[in-house]
Amino acid sequence: MAEIELREVALFSEMDEQEVSEIRALMDELKFKAGQTIIREGDTGSLFYILTEGEVQVSIRDAGGKDIILQELGPGGFFGELSMLTQEPRSAHVSAVSNVTLLALERDEFFDFLKKRPSAAIDVLIELGGRLKDMDTILRHSVSRNANEVDEERLTFGQRIADTVADTMGSWPFIIIQSTILAIWIALNATAWINHWDPYPFILLNLMLSFQAAYAAPFIMMSQNRQASKDRIAAEIDHEVNAKAELEVGLLLKRIDDLEQLSDENQREIRKLLAK
């Protein structure tokens, strides 16, 4: 990567050519093969990486032990900056998707550079703040699924019929129409206005209602069973949401603390420089 190309990296995009040239001289080139782990979550490290060739995947593990992919970075991407600055355990796992080439920057050398270049330190803070916002957006969009959409995808043809029958029989239009038919049926056979086709005690009517009840009960039970299944899906999603929310809050608090610590250090250094 040529020195001028380093300015294409977002973290250094606001720096002038002299600053970019100085920081490039501090970097070492590293290579990793596809599948290799570059950073392990929980490890400590003092290096910050810039990707110049290939692709890497950044992921974290939630409270349930599942991996959540946060980002897939290509040339120009960077990672490991917060842990490098604060010397706290790595908050994410980074692995090589393909053969990659990285530029590594060591913590002490980076700090010395920032102390000499307050304007560059401000540029770094601005970019890290934007990165924090992007990370928050990624986590929010990966939080939950819609229980209704998941249930709709799993519906079979028979279940759709059962739901339609149950919804229809459990509605006021069905009750009103059936009550009207029954009243007319009974009135016509009781008054003998036309020939008796079902005289009292209305055996044919009772037989038809029995058939209706015999078939309606299984349809309603199928619909209720499906509703119970939908409730289980909703409960699973609620658990995932709670676990991810807990993880997100923890990450945000940690990153806010990191940014505050870095800001305080830079402000102290700027005051020292201004006092001279």
Position 35 scores a pLDDT of: 85
Sign of the C-alpha dihedral computed for residues 181, 184, 189 and 192 taken in this order = negative
Counting as low any pLDDT under 50, the low residues of the chain are: 1-4, 143
Q: What pLDDT does 150 receive? A: 62
CB count, 10 Å around CB of 70? 21
Query: What does the alpha-carbon distance between residue 43 and residue 94 come to, in Å, rounded to a whole number?
Result: 11
* Distance between CA atoms of residues 269 and 113, nearest Å: 12
User: Which amino acid belongs to residue 105?
Assistant: L
pLDDT at 22: 80
Q: Which pLDDT value is given to residue 3?
A: 39
Predicted local distance difference test score (pLDDT) of residue 62: 59
pLDDT of residue 40: 79
Distances, alpha carbon 151 to alpha carbons 24, 147, 165, 223, in Å: 53, 6, 18, 12
Nearest Cα residue to 9 out of 51, 71, 45, 42: 51
Can you list the domains of the chain with their CATH numbers? 4-127 (2.60.120.10), 147-250 (no CATH)
